Structure 1
Amino acid sequence: MTLTRAWAMLIALSILSTAVAALGLEGRWLALIVLPLAWAKAQIILNRYLGLSQAPDIARGFAISLGLFMLVLIGLAVVGAG
């Protein structure tokens, strides 16, 4: 993925996040949609802008850690909003 395409993906994901927030969703539904979008943006930033795609082992460690963190946040959102 080129930097231009990464930038375009970040813009598209940000617009999507804003559109979801503008729908007026609250609680678990908002978290279930927005957190995966934030995860996708973080992955693009880590891999393309910080260059972790050049270090696959480190990138994998960050991806696993970030994925687990997102699962915890989604779990907390679901339990807290229930």
Structure 2
Amino acid sequence: IEGTKPGQCTVECPVCPHPRRNVPLDWNMAPENIKWKYWLILTVDANFQMKNKERNTWDTPALGDGWVHFVPETPYMEYV
């Protein structure tokens, strides 16, 4: 793990909708009550902890900054 470079373990989300892979070609013809299954939904905070974001200080650093599918905050903020 320590030798892993940034971005080296990036994988494409297998559950996100990918046309011609896991979404039927006629998805737009699906009934309205199930069409949501084929939408791409992006979230900022799936754990609903954004309210704690502003409280983060050097005394309480992020436990997983840059882990899993999240990019490290500092390079991201420099980019945007």
Q: Normalising TM by the smaller chain, what interval?
A: under 0.3
* Larger helix percent: 1
Computing the radius of gyration from Cα coordinates, the structure with the larger value is 2
TM-score normalised by length of structure 2: 0.27
TM-score normalised by length of structure 1: 0.27
Q: Which one scores higher on RCO, CA 8 angstroms, separation ≥ 6?
A: 1
